[in-house]
Amino acid sequence: MEFIPQPHDVVVALDIGTTKVCCLAGRKDTHGKLEVIGVGKVESVGVLRGVVSNIEKTVGAIREAVDICERNARMKFRTVHVGIAGQHIKSLQHRGILTRESDHIEINRRDVDRIVNDMFKLVLPPGDKIIHVFPQEFTVDSEQGIIDPIGMCGVRLEANFHIITGQITAINNIYRCIEKAGLKVADLTLEPIASAESTLSEEEKQAGVALVDIGGGTTDITIFHEGIIRHTAVIPFGGNVITADIKEGCTVMQPQAEKLKVKFGSALATEVFDNRIITIPGLKGREHKEISEKNLARIIQARMEEVLDYVLWEIRRSGYERKLIGGIVLTGGGSLMGHSHKLTEFHTGMSCRIGVPVEHLAHGYHESVNSPIYSTAIGLLLRGLQEVESAGAGNTAEAISDGNREPSNVSEEKEASWLDSVFRKTKEWFEAEPDMDFERKK
């Protein structure tokens, strides 16, 4: 099988989690949807609560996942977009001010970039580094609540920022692992932000929503309101603590506890029949062990409620508890637990749905990626593709002069432009919003 080098319009995402290392390769199709062309997923070793704890084991897992994905995509990868999570992630709010020379000259992109870049000079606690800076609202002179100030006139430009920081050692370890696996890091993204990219709609972000990504080692929370990131947090609990509780409570081994959780687990004990018994084989000639499904559900529910208590505490800390019209969206492997959304609704009093990352995928997508466990990886792909597009828009002349590059989808789009316009008009006609008249129930 001959492998071609990674074309410039193909993006590779790498999700280094506590329970799995997952590599996805994708590109935009002619309709602007994400087409996944390669999937590689292996069990993770060497990662503890979202942080690399053993470099050699992590490198081995990364290489294995990338190899599987390369065979699927039939190409060799050079650069990857990587996610970061872990207990060390912190978020803070800060206000920036820029005084301009003249109030006659319009505010341009360079002014906004200057005020954003100033945030990277913030003095942080020793060992911390800024990962992301998100502008929230701008103020021009005394005009508040501006989302995009470009084109306005004013002397004093101010902005509120949501800043996300992480430990330098944890960030460096991720870079080291990827370099040892023979790849380069194109970009580092906070995992809950990537998950939000793939599972939340713009409408939900406007309405106000809390995304809760329950992974193996951590639970990540991102809160949006009026389309802006308002709060991010990482809780050092995930699906692995539920497995540990089952292991202790049912006196079984770790692999058996994991299988019990995945196959028979329910987050709501009231939804389980009283008389159901699960039989598991005994150790080396010993008798079979019988476990009540009701008791299993009670163990899971107790720990899930504890995780949800932390989630509620973070939502209250953000100050947006009463502003989340969209409620909670659950994603990640932990959301696959039976009745997890029902328990979330009962425990928090907010509406809840399970977030599956299929909204941005092209038709006929790979069946295996139709799962909340791929939310982060697909979000990393989407963010990577946005970067490729913005870089491509700035380097059009360079792309034309570079004859050695792989063909991208741009030429295909031009050829299909007439057909696309027909498709778009038909789509708009079908998607025309019905009148939002409220009906009274009889």
Is the pLDDT at 422 greater than 80? The verdict is no
pLDDT of residue 403: 40
Residue 337 has a CB neighbour count (10 Å cut-off) of: 23
pLDDT of residue 404: 41
Percent of the chain residues past pLDDT 70, beyond the cut: 87
Distance (Å, whole) CA 399 – CA 158: 37
- Residue 329 has which token pair? 């969206």
Distance (Å, whole) CA 6 – CA 19: 27
- Residue 81 has which token pair? 């977009």
Is the pLDDT at 1 greater than 80? The verdict is no
Of the listed ranges 14-18, 125-129, 174-178, 427-431, the one predicted with least confidence: 427-431
pLDDT of residue 396: 42
Is the pLDDT at 427 greater than 60? The verdict is no
Q: For tokens 């209250």, what's the residue?
A: 316
Q: Are 76 and 4 in contact (CB under 8 A)?
A: yes
Distance (Å, whole) CA 388 – CA 26: 12
SS3 69: helix
pLDDT of residue 406: 39
Q: What is the mean pLDDT of residues 282-301?
A: 84
Q: What is the mean pLDDT of residues 176-193?
A: 89
Distance (Å, whole) CA 183 – CA 66: 10
Which is more confidently placed, 342 or 409? 342
**Amino acid identity for residue 431 in this structure:** E
For the chain, the average pLDDT equals: 82
- Residue 305 has which token pair? 């409620």
